[in-house]
Structure 1
Amino acid sequence: MPILLFGSRHLGLITGAKTTTIRKIWKTPLSPGDRLHCYWNLVSKEREKLFEAEVTDVEVVKFADLIQNDALAREEGFKNASELESEFRKMYPEHVNDESLYQVIRFFKLPIEEWEGTQINEKAMITKRADIFFDIGKFDKSVICYTAALKIDPNDVYLLNKKGDNLSRLGEFNEALKCYDQALIKEPNNEYIWNNKAIALLNSNKPIDALKASDKAMEINDSNLVVLYWRGFIFEMLEQYDKALECYDQILKLNPDNSEAWNAKGNLLTQIDRAEDALECYDRSLELCLESDPDASTWNRKGNALMELNRFKEALECYNSALSLEPENEVFLSNKGVAFMELNHFEKAMQCFRKVLIINPENDDAQILLDECLDNL
């Protein structure tokens, strides 16, 4: 019973696009008609069954020929033969002489009802793989998996919603909206899907349509913190700032310890020139963040609010706190440089802008500010 292990690079196994694999030759080479048991070889010790397959063809090739064959390399999931060679030299360090033999195995994925071994819930297996990719931010891979799972069950609302989320993160908002609309046909009272649709519409530069979708979510549950948060952001995009503040205040009424809402309210108050009030929000957000993980962006935003109040020394302390968490952040460094300029500490400001330009030589703003410092020395 030959067993083949595959890594997550081989997503074509899920879609059915991959029907070939290349392995060093075994003591008992495979033959057409042999049964394969195929598994994911996870980083953890778990092995998860993919499917069973039947070998349809086996071709034996020398390593010297294999590393010249771009077409075969692409079948195996590599960009070209050079990439295959590099990987195989790591995988099979004792099997990379010109005469070393490899078997190119072609196979046919068998229907579950024809398996010899334990049958699996294929939809659940693919969905689990998709969720893993989604959680680690590999949205291009997770959308492939969700699409494959939807071929098994086209009406699964969870899958439709998750595929929409993936497509939104990939900037494919129109396709995402199709997924959300299909999901809403099945579950018209799902406030989370209405909210996701609102986010996709907002990202499509359709804030009025986004508000209509948010209205639907609010009709279902007007106490949903996630819906309220995004509703506030939609009102901001529509420049209806009073209504946006109402949303953030409603969140904080329901949950006074919501650091994101304090942050959002602070950002909005800064935008409408209420810097003193914004500071109170940032301080509250920082108190909550510091109870767990410090938040560099909030330190930076508090520094910006203090700059507007001409409290430059206090702003510097905030930027230093932000930079202690993200020392290579060019935005934080530039802000710190500007604070030094306001305090007439031009040499210290120049050090900040020079570091920015080391990180990003194309930062034109930093170059202009550096030149201005030189003019003031």
Structure 2
Amino acid sequence: MPILSFSSNDIDVITGKKTRTIRKAWKTPLKVGDRLYCYWNLVSKEKMKIFEAFVTRIEDLSFEELEGNDELARQEGFKDSKDMLKEFKKMYGGRLSPLDKFQIIHFEKIDISQWKGDKIDEKAMISKRADILFDSGKFDKSTMCYDAALRLDPNDIYLLNKQGDNLSRLGRFMDAIECYDKALDMEPDNIYILNNKAIALLNSGNINKALKVSNLAYNYRPSSPIVLYWRGFILEMLGRYDDALRVYDKLIVIDGENPEVWNSRGNLLTDMGMLAEAIESFDKAVEVCLDDSEMDAAAINRMGNAYIDLGKLDKALECFNKAISLEQYNIDFLLNKGVVLMELGKFEEAIDSFNKVLLRSPDNEDAFFLKEECLEYL
């Protein structure tokens, strides 16, 4: 029973894109017609069977013929032959010589109904891998897995929604909307999918259409926090500030312990010129945070800007210092801090802040000219 092990990162294997592999020849080499039992991570606790296959073609070659063969390496998904040989040396413990025999094994997957060994839930296996890749931010790979899972079950609403989310993160908003629409054909009242479609429309620039879809979700469940949050944001993008504020005020009653709600309300009030009220919202956002990791540095920076407009420079400086403690290399935060320090007459400290900007962005004109202005006072 020939067994092949693949890395769980070898996504092309389960999507069907890859139908061959290169392995060191066994004492009894593989031949056409052999049945393969293929696994992910065979020698780890994450071991998982992925498919059975028939060997359809075999090409024999030596290790010497693999060295320097960049074309073959790229066909196998490696950057070049050096990358491929590095993987082989790791796979075989570095025990390789020029005369070692290798095989290029071409295979064809066997339908699960024809498997001789233990059967698996193929869709569940692929979906799980897709979710792991999605959660780790590898959206280019996860979209391939979601596609493979959807080929097994094109009407799975969960998969259609997840693929839509995945495509949105890749900036493929119209493709994402197509996935959401397929899911909504089956569940037209699913507020989460409606909301995701509204977000995709918003990101694609179709703000009015986004509001129409958001209206549908709102009509189905007017007290849903996630629907209200994005409804408020969409109204804000349309310039309907009063309507957006009413939505955020309603949301605060429902989800008042969520710092993002208070941050969004503070941002809106800042844009409306209601600076004192904005600061109250930002303060509340800080208050309800369980720890610093939940604090929104951009919101704290905006709070600082609001304090500047109110003439409360010491409070503004506190905000910028807090924002920088969360994102120490953020150029905008460092610039803002430098400006406040200038206004407070602390020119040496201001120069230090501007130098930090110039260290990361040598062509930053604002930092350069503000630093020059500070030097005139020393």
Task: Tell me, yes or no, if the aligned pair for 1:20 and 1:75 is still in contact at 8 Å.
Answer: no
Between the aligned partners of 2:365 and 2:32, the Cα distance in structure 1 is 63
Q: What letter matches 1:20 in structure 2?
A: R
Task: Tell me, yes or no, if the aligned pair for 1:353 and 1:366 is still in contact at 8 Å.
Answer: yes
* 271-280 or 288-297: bigger deviation: 288-297
Between the aligned partners of 2:136 and 2:363, the Cα distance in structure 1 is 30
Q: What letter matches 1:5 in structure 2?
A: S
SS at match of 1:205: coil
1:49/1:93 Cα in 2 relative to 1: closer, same or farther (>3 Å)?
closer
1:80 corresponding residue in structure 2: 80
2:302 corresponding residue in structure 1: 301
2:349 corresponding residue in structure 1: 348
1:38/1:188 Cα in 2 relative to 1: closer, same or farther (>3 Å)?
same
Shift of 1:44: 6.7
2:113 corresponding residue in structure 1: 113
SS at match of 1:293: helix
Q: What letter matches 2:71 in structure 1?
A: A
The correspondence of residues 8-157 of structure 1 with structure 2, limited to 5 A, is 8-41=8-41, 45-157=45-157
Q: What letter matches 1:80 in structure 2?
A: D
Normalising by structure 1, we get a TM-score of 0.93
1:262 corresponding residue in structure 2: 262
Task: Tell me, yes or no, if the aligned pair for 1:21 and 1:75 is still in contact at 8 Å.
Answer: no
Between the aligned partners of 2:358 and 2:292, the Cα distance in structure 1 is 33
Task: Tell me, yes or no, if the aligned pair for 2:5 and 2:42 is still in contact at 8 Å.
Answer: no
Task: Tell me, yes or no, if the aligned pair for 1:340 and 1:349 is still in contact at 8 Å.
Answer: yes
For residues 325-347 of structure 1, the C-alpha deviation after alignment (integer angstroms, 9 at most, x for no partner) is 33222232222222212222232
For residues 272-293 of structure 1, the C-alpha deviation after alignment (integer angstroms, 9 at most, x for no partner) is 1111111111111111114573
Q: What letter matches 1:62 in structure 2?
A: S
* 12-21 or 52-61: bigger deviation: 52-61
The correspondence of residues 154-165 of structure 1 with structure 2, limited to 5 A, is 154-165=154-165
Q: What letter matches 1:301 in structure 2?
A: R
Task: Tell me, yes or no, if the aligned pair for 1:24 and 1:95 is still in contact at 8 Å.
Answer: no
Shift of 1:72: 2.1
The correspondence of residues 239-254 of structure 1 with structure 2, limited to 5 A, is 239-254=239-254
Q: What letter matches 1:167 in structure 2?
A: L
For residues 221-264 of structure 1, the C-alpha deviation after alignment (integer angstroms, 9 at most, x for no partner) is 00111010000011111100011111111111112212111010
* 45-54 or 31-40: bigger deviation: 31-40
The correspondence of residues 203-214 of structure 1 with structure 2, limited to 5 A, is 203-214=203-214
After superposition, the CA RMSD in angstroms is 2.1
For residues 112-139 of structure 1, the C-alpha deviation after alignment (integer angstroms, 9 at most, x for no partner) is 0111111111111111111111111111
1:22/1:212 Cα in 2 relative to 1: closer, same or farther (>3 Å)?
same
For residues 157-205 of structure 1, the C-alpha deviation after alignment (integer angstroms, 9 at most, x for no partner) is 1111111111111111111111111111111111111111111111111
Task: Tell me, yes or no, if the aligned pair for 1:19 and 1:108 is still in contact at 8 Å.
Answer: yes
Between the aligned partners of 1:42 and 1:342, the Cα distance in structure 2 is 64
Matching of residue 314 in structure 1 with residue 311 in structure 2: no
1:366 corresponding residue in structure 2: 367
Matching of residue 357 in structure 1 with residue 358 in structure 2: yes
1:224 corresponding residue in structure 2: 224
Q: What letter matches 1:316 in structure 2?
A: L
1:108/1:364 Cα in 2 relative to 1: closer, same or farther (>3 Å)?
farther
Between the aligned partners of 1:277 and 1:98, the Cα distance in structure 2 is 75
Between the aligned partners of 1:283 and 1:18, the Cα distance in structure 2 is 54
Q: How many residue pairs end up in the alignment? A: 377
SS at match of 2:293: coil
Between the aligned partners of 1:47 and 1:94, the Cα distance in structure 2 is 23
* 87-96 or 135-144: bigger deviation: 87-96
Q: What letter matches 1:267 in structure 2?
A: N
1:6 corresponding residue in structure 2: 6
Between the aligned partners of 1:363 and 1:86, the Cα distance in structure 2 is 42
Shift of 1:350: 2.0
SS at match of 2:289: helix
Between the aligned partners of 2:43 and 2:4, the Cα distance in structure 1 is 16
Between the aligned partners of 2:349 and 2:366, the Cα distance in structure 1 is 17
1:291/1:328 Cα in 2 relative to 1: closer, same or farther (>3 Å)?
closer
2:283 corresponding residue in structure 1: 283
Q: What letter matches 1:312 in structure 2?
A: L
Matching of residue 186 in structure 1 with residue 190 in structure 2: no
Task: Tell me, yes or no, if the aligned pair for 1:129 and 1:145 is still in contact at 8 Å.
Answer: yes
Between the aligned partners of 1:222 and 1:21, the Cα distance in structure 2 is 54
Task: Tell me, yes or no, if the aligned pair for 2:173 and 2:203 is still in contact at 8 Å.
Answer: yes
Shift of 1:311: 1.8
Shift of 1:42: 8.6
Shift of 1:27: 3.6
Between the aligned partners of 1:42 and 1:354, the Cα distance in structure 2 is 53
* 292-301 or 69-78: bigger deviation: 292-301
* 113-122 or 319-328: bigger deviation: 319-328
Normalising by structure 2, we get a TM-score of 0.93
Between the aligned partners of 1:308 and 1:5, the Cα distance in structure 2 is 63
Unaligned runs of 5+ in 2: none
Between the aligned partners of 2:292 and 2:318, the Cα distance in structure 1 is 20
1:24/1:341 Cα in 2 relative to 1: closer, same or farther (>3 Å)?
farther
Q: What letter matches 2:279 in structure 1?
A: L
Task: Tell me, yes or no, if the aligned pair for 1:18 and 1:75 is still in contact at 8 Å.
Answer: no
Matching of residue 173 in structure 1 with residue 166 in structure 2: no
